[in-house]
């Protein structure tokens, strides 16, 4: 891989240990994936923020990076952590977990990362422009910015995204290059237009194509629908980029007439629903994967207004960013009659398995991860069905 003189100097340790470690990691990844050079990035989004997922080893890595004076050099945001940083007792979090989680947030803050702790930074805290090269981890968010915004990122892991954030550069391969962004399959899709049906569509497509680049016809997602679609396809498959005719920025560039076409309609969505619904009854209902937007918060509040929670044995969590929670104070008041509106966290990266064994969600992404990462029997239904069952 060709490095400039300045990049060589970083690799040789002339800019300090933190920068050197970051350069070692980014160039090692570049060599593995055949990058010819590095490319400047305009922002990063980092995962590896929950103490549940990174453990003491990850905490030690962050301590070392911060001690080596590593600092991010481009605007960088952080994924959800294992708890709401002020309301963690309501989530049954232990004191020991809380102390370590707060230390992780502090260390990221020391490195200059904006500790917004949300998986939807593209709604406010970190919004790339079309054509920007960025280094984003968090599979749902990176797919959203690649596809809906037209920025360019690979599917970064936590350490790779942090290293790129420190350098302000990433290895130039994969989805940074035009030739790797072409669609590989056409998907003629049918939904009922609801956000939940986009989640099921993502589940079905991810399962069917795995890691390809779908080109959708027949749908017109807005932000919330694209958020659900991105998350589900990244979880059931490993889709990091898709195009939607007439919606996504690059879609018009491609001639897809020679590509294989698959059809995903009601039958496939019903099958996806069946796969995701294992539990008949639940102990926790967790909504907000990816984090709820302002529009979704207001829709949920409108649905709940004037209703009463009868099933006291079921806990309800609503997950969003601190920014959105603050913006939606009226909606929050109504929602909190049913359960806490939690910021900075989610049902997958919080240690819910210590308290619950059956969880309901409206997200296919959470429906995939609740059994594997949280030992839950999952139920996956739309919001009105989930909340209707507690009234
Ligand atoms: Fe976000 Fe957690 Fe879902 S990080 S995408 S709410 S699994």
- Residues 255, 286: one domain? no
The total number of structural domains in the chain stands at 3
**94 pLDDT exceeds 90?**
yes
Full domain range(s) for residue 367: 277-388
- Residues 124, 187: one domain? no
pLDDT band at 265 (very low <50, low <70, confident <90, very high): very high
With a 6 Å cutoff on the Cβ, whether 349 touches ligand 1 is yes
What is the distance between the alpha carbons of residues 128 and 130, in angstroms, rounded to a whole number? 7
- Of the residues 178, 198, 227, the one at which a domain ends: 178
Q: Are 104 and 110 in contact (CB under 8 A)?
A: no
- Residues 17, 166: one domain? yes
- Residues 302, 192: one domain? no
- Residues 144, 187: one domain? no
- Of the residues 178, 193, 218, the one at which a domain ends: 178
- Residues 32, 173: one domain? yes
pLDDT at res. 217: 97
As a dihedral over the C-alpha atoms of residue 341, residue 347, residue 353, residue 355, rounded to 10 degrees, the angle is: 10
Q: Which is the closest atom of ligand 1 to the Cα of 319?
A: 6
Predicted TM-score (pTM) of the model is 0.97
- Residues 37, 143: one domain? yes
pLDDT at res. 379: 97
**53 pLDDT exceeds 90?**
yes
pLDDT at res. 201: 98
Mutation pick for ligand 1 pocket among 45, 79, 119, 158 (CB with most ligand atoms within 8 Å) = 119
What is the distance between the alpha carbons of residues 240 and 231, in angstroms, rounded to a whole number? 9
- Residues 32, 171: one domain? yes
Per the listing, tokens 């989610």 go with 346
pLDDT at res. 17: 86
- Residues 237, 170: one domain? no
- Residues 167, 97: one domain? yes
Condensed to tens digits (0 to 9), the pLDDT of residues 2-33 reads 999 999 999 999 998 889 999 999 999 999 99
pLDDT at res. 288: 98
What is the distance between the alpha carbons of residues 188 and 216, in angstroms, rounded to a whole number? 6
Condensed to tens digits (0 to 9), the pLDDT of residues 291-321 reads 999 999 999 999 999 999 999 999 999 999 9
With a 6 Å cutoff on the Cβ, whether 348 touches ligand 1 is yes
CA-nearest residue, atom 6 of ligand 1? 289
CATH number of the domain where residue 138 is located: 3.30.499
Q: What is the arithmetic mean of pLDDT over 186-206?
A: 98
pLDDT band at 107 (very low <50, low <70, confident <90, very high): very high
- Residues 345, 293: one domain? yes
């Amino acid at each position: 891989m060709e490095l400039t003189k300045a990049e060589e100097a970083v690799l040789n340790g002339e800019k300090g240990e933190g920068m050197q470690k970051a350069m070692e990691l980014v160039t090692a990844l570049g060599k593995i994936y055949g990058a010819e050079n590095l490319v400047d990035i305009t922002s990063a989004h980092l995962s590896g923020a929950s103490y549940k997922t990174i453990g003491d080893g990850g905490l030690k890595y962050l301590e070392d990076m911060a001690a080596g004076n590593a600092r991010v050099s481009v605007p960088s945001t952080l994924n959800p952590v294992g708890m709401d940083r002020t309301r963690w007792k309501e989530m049954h979090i232990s004191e020991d977990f809380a102390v370590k989680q707060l230390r992780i947030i502090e260390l990221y803050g020391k490195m200059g990362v904006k500790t917004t702790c949300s998986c939807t930074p593209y709604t406010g805290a970190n919004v790339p422009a079309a054509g920007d090269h960025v280094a984003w981890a968090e599979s749902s968010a990176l797919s959203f910015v690649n596809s809906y915004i037209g920025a360019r990122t690979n599917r970064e892991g936590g350490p790779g995204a942090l290293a790129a954030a420190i350098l302000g550069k990433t290895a130039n391969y994969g989805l940074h290059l035009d030739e790797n962004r072409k669609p590989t399959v056409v998907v003629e899709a049918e939904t009922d237009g609801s956000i939940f049906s986009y989640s099921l569509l993502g589940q079905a497509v991810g399962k069917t194509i795995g890691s390809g680049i779908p080109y959708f016809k027949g749908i017109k997602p807005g932000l919330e629908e694209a958020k659900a679609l991105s998350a589900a396809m990244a979880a059931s498959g490993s889709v990091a980029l898709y195009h939607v005719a007439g919606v996504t920025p690059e879609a018009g560039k491609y001639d897809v007439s020679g590509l294989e076409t698959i059809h995903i309609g009601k039958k496939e969505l019903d099958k996806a629903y069946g796969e995701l619904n294992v539990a008949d009854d639940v102990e926790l209902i967790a909504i907000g994967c990816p984090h709820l937007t302002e529009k979704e918060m207001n829709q949920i509040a409108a649905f709940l207004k004037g209703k009463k929670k009868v099933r006291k044995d079921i806990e309800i969590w609503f997950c969003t960013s601190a920014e959105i929670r603050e913006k939606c104070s009226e909606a929050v008041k109504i929602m909190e009659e049913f359960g806490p509106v939690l910021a900075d966290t989610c049902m997958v990266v919080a240690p819910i398995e210590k308290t619950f064994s059956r969880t309901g969600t409206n997200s296919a992404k959470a429906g995939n991860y609740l059994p594997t990462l949280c030992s839950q029997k999952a139920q996956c239904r739309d919001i009105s069905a989930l909340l209707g069952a507690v009234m």
